[in-house]
Amino acid sequence: MSSISKPSVRHPSAQKNQIGLSKADYEGAMSTLCAGCGHDSVTAALVQAFWELDLPPHRAAKMSGIGCSSKTTAYFMKQSHGFNAVHGRMPSVTAGANAANRELTYIGISGDGDSLNIGLGQLAHAIRRNVNMLYVIENNGVYGLTKGQFSASADLGSMSRKGEVNEQTPIDPVLLALTLGATFVARSFSGDKSQLVPILKAAMTHRGFALVDVISPCVSFNDHEGSAKSYAYMRRHEVETVMTDFVPLRREIKVPETHEEMTVVRMHDGSEVRLHATAPGYNPRSRDMAYRHVQACIRKGEVATGILFIDDAGRCMHDMQRTVPTPLAHLPFEQLCPGSAALNHLMERYR
Amino acid sequence: MSGINDFAFKSATVNGTGSASANTLLMQAIFRMGIPVTGKNIFPSNIQGLPTWYEIRVSHEGFTARPPVIDLIVALNPSTYPQDIASLRPGGYLMYDSSWPLDPKLVRDDVTILGVPLGQMCREAFTRDRDRTLLRNIAYAGALAALLQIDMAVIEQMLTENYGRKKSLLEANHRAVRMGYDYARRHFDCPLPFRCEPMNETAGAVLMDGNTACALGALYAGATVGAWYPITPSTSLMDAFKEFCQEFRVDPDTKLNRYCIIQAEDELAAAGMVIGAGWMGARSFTCTSGPGISLMQEFLGYAYYAEIPGVFINVQRAGPATGLPTRTQQADLLTMAYASHGDTKHIILFPADPRECFTLTVAAFDAAERFQTPVFVASDLDIGMNDWMMPRLTWDDGYRPDRGKVLDAAALEQVKNFSRYLDADGDGVAARTLPGVSGKGAYFTRGSGHDKHGAYTEDSAAYAEVLDRIRRKLETAAHTLPKPVISRQDGADVGIVFLGSSEAPVREAVVRLREHGVRADAMRICAFPFAPEVREFLDRYKTLFVVEQNRDAQLRALLTIETGFPRDQMIPVLDFAGQPMTADELVTAMSTHLAGASA
Ligand SMILES: Cc1ncc(C[n+]2csc(CCOP(=O)(O)OP(=O)(O)O)c2C)c(N)n1
Ligand code: SF4
């Protein structure tokens, strides 16, 4: 993965967050993606979200697979360890890392090819395992890094830059996640930072696997007429289903002005997510409703965005594994090795 | 051969009919009589219905290889009668269930046939169908106890230990074993010329299989994350690890686990989990077999190049593909040595028996962290799933895990700028940092080109520098890994090179060769990359045999590639049919060659 280090210019009066860091502290290396790539907007949203969350960068681990999208992890929070895994296999590495140290915050960034083609199995099983992580798919419907082949999320009938028509039905990550029992499912658009930032914050705070599908246009291979993942297409067809407010713990809680129905979800750390349904009667706690709504939008050629489903009672991998709260990687050897007397005793069983 | 405390017998049954407990009972009873004994399970890839055998070898000399001849067969599977009778040595005995007649065509003049109406006796003695089937096995154990003079008091004691809490079961087992015993005593000349007499050769020993021993090794080494996907013959390893963890790793107050075992969706994921956990600083491992290793290759190359520890226990089975999944081989040597694409080379440790499964699994965790690289433990089905007699395992409470070069927060304070892949000590090993400790130690782990600072690069020189340092690191490893075990005799001009489970037949073959006037030195290779002693050994002999259990002489190839020793000067002795080797076949192969060479 290529990157260029960024000169660190700091304005002395740059605004600091609760832990005394400015937004620049959440930046990473300079992006080497194509100018205008949607993924860079996602990076900007991530920087904003983590800064607003007061996340200590060194307590986070940035995980990704392979693809243009997977390079994103280099472009934010340079003070976090990063892991650029192999193509499609970031979920397993994250599950292992998380098994070893449950205290860190895990941020996984992947592409639609990485997640829905080569990595579909690992994505599905990370959902089933409910690994505690934020999982962002930067979804552009194509393989960017290998120059423009259709990915599994390419819409039926959409056209490649070379004029080929996609004849295979797409895999929709949101429907997939809902079907597999994901406990947090959202969709957004890279061009809509005001929506994306609160979604990312809520997803980060969710205990368990939080899938955020971000439509993120590829200007080099999929931003033309005939693409269903272009900027123009998204501007015309995005429908916000649920408006999100994220109210962190510690901050003054302002009740947002709203006229619609509102769902308040209390997150694991005590912060709140307030979901305002813009679709009439929408209840983001109903998996069935989410499924029906997303499908109805797809049928109409619309893209439903917002936090579409949230189940705050889900048990994450460590709950299911019944592991101790101390990170396994930090347990003292004395607590792990039964010692010579126990071995001696054990040997009697093999007589 | 074939005398007091020196014989072999075999049961021929049908998979899934419960003969395992009878076989274990017999073997353990002989063991408790102080007589060296080993058992080998020759089983089909099937849950129920196909032929299966269990061979028990009794050897006062302590030989644990497959027996050279079979003295007695308990034939309970009519479909293999012809094969079973044919496999007996002249003068041997066949015991069969005479509830049904034996085809007279099968009778051999030089074999004594002993009919025991096992089925009929059990039908009369027990009412439930299940008992009638299962206890038939215990009844033959009783008959064998009479024929082979196995101490009935020991057998009855063991039944009490096994079924003590289930009174009716215990009573039924006692009856069945007595029934067989009494029948044999009444109808046959008991005991047979070859039989057991108490010795005192097993006092400090135990009977254990290699998978259990590897699991104990992982437990004692402090492994906390196990990720795996089920595959024969490695499954029982993670099962055993789980059981040990449940016994020793549950927080007494909260009842929460100090371990995490993840059944992955496939071996790709299992490898990813091992690497993720290793990167995070936990001791992590997987167990698998050949097909699983194939799937793990991409990650193995990644971990090699990004320098992440992890232990990969390969319980080898016969391949390629699904091959013979319940049979043994040593045919993944080249695969393990160079797993993945590009320039890779992996550390492999080769246990020869369950005891070494324990010690080398611990060593594997140390090597993995010390050299920040994947480490294989190359076991096989013979070691992994068969019960071996071995000295009791011991543990040094002074042991502390070698965590390798890890900079903690205080150490990071001392460095100006942390560089991930810098060879500060000249041993090829760079220091690493663990996530979550400090922003100063943060770095980006990548499988793509990086320089010594860990930064992305496509610069040829910077890339080559890192790859070359990793080569030096592996050279350092070669000097610290377990040395080859060499046994010498005065005036030997024949050398035998081998590894792993070939130890038992080679050790016996060396003794037999000596009886034929051939003096051979033997070197057992315990680790790859090879220590310098390996090449030194090769250089000493007029005749060199390389014994291994694969078709293409992979160990010989590896020796040539890595030491430069001419391939043609090593005579391959190969067995790849899927069964553990016998000493006899080795002696025959080597003496035939030597006779040809001197003719
Ligand atoms: C095993 C393997 N096969 C193929 C590749 C080549 N490859 C690199 S990225 C990529 C596709 C990436 O597409 P996507 O995940 O959609 O990300 P984007 O580049 O569009 O952001 C492919 C096929 C690889 N790196 N590894
Ligand atoms: S090829 Fe597409 S996805 Fe890749 S960087 Fe360029 S615009 Fe972004």
pLDDT tens digits, one per residue of A67-92? 999 999 999 999 999 999 999 999 99
SS3 of B430-461: the string is CCEECCCCCHHHCCEEECCCECCCCCECCCHH
Q: What is the dihedral of CA B107, B111, B117, B118, to 10 degrees?
A: -120
The confidence score (pLDDT) of residue A10 equals 63
Q: Which amino acid is at B213?
A: A
Average pLDDT over residues A138-145: 96
User: Taking the alpha carbons of A124, A72, A93, B305 in that order, is the dihedral positive or negative?
Assistant: positive
Cβ <8 Å between A86 and B265: no
pLDDT at position A160, please? 86
Mutate to test the interface with A, among B157, B224, B286, B296 (most CBs of A within 10 A): B224
Query: Per-residue pLDDT for A345 more than 90?
Result: yes
pLDDT band at A2 (very low <50, low <70, confident <90, very high): low
What's the pLDDT at A274? 76
CA nearest neighbour of B376 among B364, B386, B389:
B364
Q: Quick one: pLDDT at residue A158?
A: 87
For B280, name the nearest residue in chain A, comparing CA atoms only: A97
**Among residues 102-141 of chain A, which lie with CB inside 8 Å of chain B?**
103-104, 121-122, 124-125, 129
Is any Cβ of chain B less than 8 angstroms from the Cβ of A4? no
- Residue of minimum CA distance from atom 10 in ligand 1: A67
User: What is the Å distance from ligand 2's center to B399 Cα?
Assistant: 52
Query: Is the pLDDT confidence value at A126 over 90?
Result: yes
Count each helix (H run) and each strand (E run) in chain B, helices first. Answer: 19, 23
Q: How confident is the model at residue A256 (pLDDT cuts 50, 70, 90)?
A: very low
* Per-residue model confidence (pLDDT) at position A310: 95
CB A134 within 8 A of CB A204: yes
Q: Which residues of B232-242 are buried (b: 16+ CB within 10 A; e: fewer)?
A: bbbbbbbbbbb
ipTM: 0.96
C-alpha B566 to ligand 1 mean position (Å): 43
Tell me if A94 and B276 make a contact (CB, 8 A cut-off).
yes
Q: What value does the mean pLDDT take over residues A136-142?
A: 96
Question: Residue A104: closest CA among chain B residues belongs to which residue?
Answer: B436
| Cβ–Cβ contact B275 with A under 8 A | yes
> pLDDT tier at A9 (50, 70, 90 boundaries)?
low
CA angle, A70 then B416 then A31, to 5°: 25
- pLDDT of B494 higher than 50: yes
What pLDDT, in 10s, does the model give residues B326-345?
A: 999 999 999 999 999 999 99
Which ligand 1 atom lies nearest to the CA of residue A151?
16
Q: Report the nearest-CA residue for atom 9 of ligand 1.
A: A67
Per-residue pLDDT tens over the stretch B413-429: 999 999 999 999 999 99
Answer whether residue A63 shows pLDDT above 50.
yes
Half-sphere exposure of A192 (CA within 13 A, CB side): 23
- Does B10 score more than 70 pLDDT? yes
A58 to B436: CB separation less than 8 angstroms, yes or no: yes
Find out whether the beta carbon of A119 lies less than 6 Å from any atom of ligand 2. Answer: no
Work out whether the CA dihedral A38, B448, B406, A88 comes out positive or negative: positive
Does the pLDDT at position A254 exceed 50? no
- For residue A98, list chain B residues with Cβ-Cβ distance below 8 A: 276
Residue B479 token pair:
């000097």
How far apart are the CA of A101 and the nearest CA of chain B, in angstroms?
Answer: 7
Contact A96 B393 (CB under 8 A): no
Using the beta-carbon criterion (under 8 Å), do B392 and A344 form an inter-chain contact? yes
List the single residue in A2, A331, A333 with the smallest CB-CB distance to B456: A2
Task: Report the pLDDT value the prediction gives residue A35, as an integer from 0 to 100.
Answer: 94
Give just the sign of the alpha carbon dihedral A26, A27, A29, A33: positive
pLDDT at residue number A280: 84
In this structure, what are the phi and psi dihedrals at residue B515, rounded to the nearest 5 degrees?
-65, -25
Closest CA to B562 of B334, B349, B385, B406: B334
CB A237 within 8 A of CB A301: yes
Cα distance between residue B61 and residue B64, in whole Å: 9
A39 lines ligand 2 (CB under 6 A): yes
Q: Which of A142, A220, A231 to mutate to test the pocket of ligand 2 (most atoms within 8 A of CB)?
A: A220
- Band (A176; pLDDT cuts 50, 70, 90): very high
Indicate if ligand 2 lies below 6 Å from the C-beta of A220: yes
pLDDT at A259: 45
Atom of ligand 1 nearest to the CA of A65: 15
3-state SS track over chain A = CCCECCCCCCCCCCCECCCCCEHHHHECCECCCCCCCHHHHHHHHHHHHHHHCCCCHHHEEEEECCCCHHHHHHHECCCCEEEECCCCCHHHHHHHHHHHCCCCEEEEEEEHHHHHHCCHHHHHHHHHHCCCEEEEEEECCECCCCCCCECCCCCCCCECCCCCECCCCCCCHHHHHHHHCCCEEEEEECCCHHHHHHHHHHHHHCCCEEEEEEECCCCCCCCCCCCCCCHHHHHHHEEECEEEEEECCCCCCCCCCCCCCEEEEECCCCCEEEEEECCCCCCCCCHHHHHHHHHHHHHCCCEEEEEEEECCCCCCHHHHHCECCCCHHHCCHHHCCCHHHHHHHHHHHHC
Nearest atom in ligand 2 to A36's CA: 7
Element (H, E) at B238: helix B235-248
Of all residues in chain A, the percent with pLDDT exceeding 70 is 91
The pLDDT, as a whole number, for residue A252 is: 41
pLDDT tens profile B362-411: 999 999 999 999 999 999 999 999 999 999 999 999 999 999 999 999 99
Contact state of A321 with B216 under an 8 Å Cβ cutoff? no
Residue B135 Cα to ligand 1 middle (Å): 60
**CA separation, residue A321 to residues A268, A273, B23, B82, B572 (Å):** 18, 27, 37, 52, 49
- The per-residue pLDDT for range B52-73, each reduced to its tens digit, is 999 999 999 999 999 999 999 9
Greater confidence (A314 vs B493) lies with B493
- The mean per-residue pLDDT over the stretch A139-148 comes to 95
Q: Give tens-digit pLDDT for A272-317.
A: 777 667 888 899 999 999 999 999 999 988 899 999 999 988 899 9
Residues in A 37-76 with any Cβ partner in B closer than 8 A? 57-59, 61, 73-74
Closest ligand to the CA of A40: 2
Q: What is the pLDDT of residues B266-325, one digit of tens each?
A: 999 999 999 999 999 999 999 999 999 999 999 999 999 999 999 999 999 999 999 999
Q: Do A347 and B392 touch (CB under 8 A)?
A: yes
User: Quick one: DSSP state of residue B549?
Assistant: S
Q: How far is B264 from chain A (nearest CA, A)?
A: 8
Which residues have CB under 8 Å from A30's CB, separation 6+?
Answer: A3, A4, A5, A6, A75
| pTM passes above 0.80 | yes
> Sorting pLDDT into bands at 50, 70 and 90, what band is A251?
very low
Contacts of B443 in chain A (CB under 8 A): 81-82
Instruction: Give the H or E element holding residue B52.
Output: strand B51-59
Rounded Cα distance, B552 and B549, in Å: 9
The residue type found at B356 is E
CB burial of residue B152 (10 Å; 0-12, 13-18, 19+): middle
Q: Which residues line ligand 1 (CB under 6 A)?
A: A 66-69, 87, 111-114, 138, 140, 142-146, 151, 218
HSE-CB at B97 with a 13 A cutoff on CA atoms is: 23
Computed over every residue of chain B, the mean pLDDT equals 97
B23, pLDDT greater than 90: yes
User: What's CA B467's distance to the chain center, in Å?
Assistant: 33
Q: Which ligand is nearest to the CA of A217?
A: 2
Q: What is the pLDDT of residue A8?
A: 63
Distance (Å) from the C-alpha of residue B402 to the closest C-alpha of chain A?
11
pLDDT band at B29 (very low <50, low <70, confident <90, very high): very high
Instruction: Give yes or no for A99 touching B (CB within 8 A).
Output: yes
Asked which of A8-12, A345-349, B308-312, B528-532 is least confident by mean pLDDT, the reply is: A8-12
* Average pLDDT of chain A to the nearest whole number: 91
